[in-house]
Structure 1
């Protein structure tokens, strides 16, 4: 079940002529957002670590010759501040950025104590430090125009930012951290005409989903699929995520979900942040009690599965 994002007001009237900068833009959701933004008349800048993937992405996007002049690519690792800052500043020099999409992400399924510390550091460096780096460079540049021009920052999160994903502890920690970062930035940027949208997709058909599933520890992966409610047949497409992400950005929506599972999780994890509308707040109040009751049953089942796995060892 997918939840729409229709509102009566609009923050950005249109993406026509706007500049959308996307980190992790060479594949998956980032590339899909670039395609959708171009189709709505925007200019796009793609940042990614791989020059070869960026080249392929640019060729993919520029199949229609009319859009080639609207595409800029920059090689940069979001975890390396100096090169990232240079790339973002050059993108702003090309065209002032209206929408900054922090999309770069990394994941690897394994229990924390069975993971290589290098892999864990890499996940933190990309998923959390990389976002901090990106907004630290981007915000001062956006503030130069924001008093007269509405702007947006998109933090591409995951439902694991609202639900602990078994077998991905550090990945989950970075996504929880990203939610906290977005909540604080919402308040900090309120006086500056810059809105924050945090997007919480469920499972999405992207190269990262394949990578997370191709693990040596099949027992762990099979157990994590049950505990994490993994059903690949119900995974979103990157194109669908791109569409609702940009619609939410134009509407200025803060907490963005599409599937019913995302709606339920946001009901429990919204914290002190108010809902986007009275209708959404009322819906969350109605769902809260039955949802919490269901969580007791789900938790008992999950605990049983984990203990049963440990007893088998």
Structure 2
């Protein structure tokens, strides 16, 4: 949903979106684990067991810092479009991952490729989502409780995105997407609105990253590879770019597709006598499925009904008194 603001509304291709996800995840990991106390004696003197900030304090920080990184990415790329913008954002995502992988010396900030563990689970007023609880005699495990929390967050995000889409800012983003020169001629501040799109989209990634770290209890640079960025972009494009129901459908499909194809990759591996790895076969099948969808539904599985409407309008008759040159 956050990437849909950048790609779908503003029309800015971003292949490094996973970097903002990583920023939020590592921020929560640093502030809600013993890592800072073990790496910095000054922190250990004041907080022997680590900071362990509550989630309500970390989420605004994750959103703000991720949004700041989004503006940093957007500022030097304001005049870039298409392939050039994709290359720069791709490089930004890889730079963040490499930094996280190497910031274990001379100061051990991220613990390098080993990652950070012992991250606190989400706790609301003493109610720990990382532990099973019983409600009216029904045992509910931690995964189910996290599921309902994430479902609530998705609903809130959809409402925010819908409000943005129908606001003046959303209409200005779409004007920039359709024709930036015409939008500038109409008095729209394209520079500030592009930066706002990058920053606003990044805040969603930062909050999601913090939730990811709390749910997993462990983060490492391997979780924020280029493939993750590609999959997020594919969710937006294959579902229906710029259309919230389409984006949600694309996310559900691409999240479920790898699990469904596990049952297909297994028999194929047996047919090849184990010469092909099941994970490689699954990636190949995912690529074939995505290519098939793009060929059959080039506008996405659930495109916006407004998209392309002007192309379908009948052209009116030319007045008879028109003077031909």
Q: What is the TM-score with the length of structure 1 in the denominator?
A: 0.29
Q: What is the TM-score with the length of structure 2 in the denominator?
A: 0.28
Of Structure 1 and Structure 2, the greater helix share is in 2
Q: Which has the larger radius of gyration?
A: 2
Of Structure 1 and Structure 2, the greater strand share is in 1
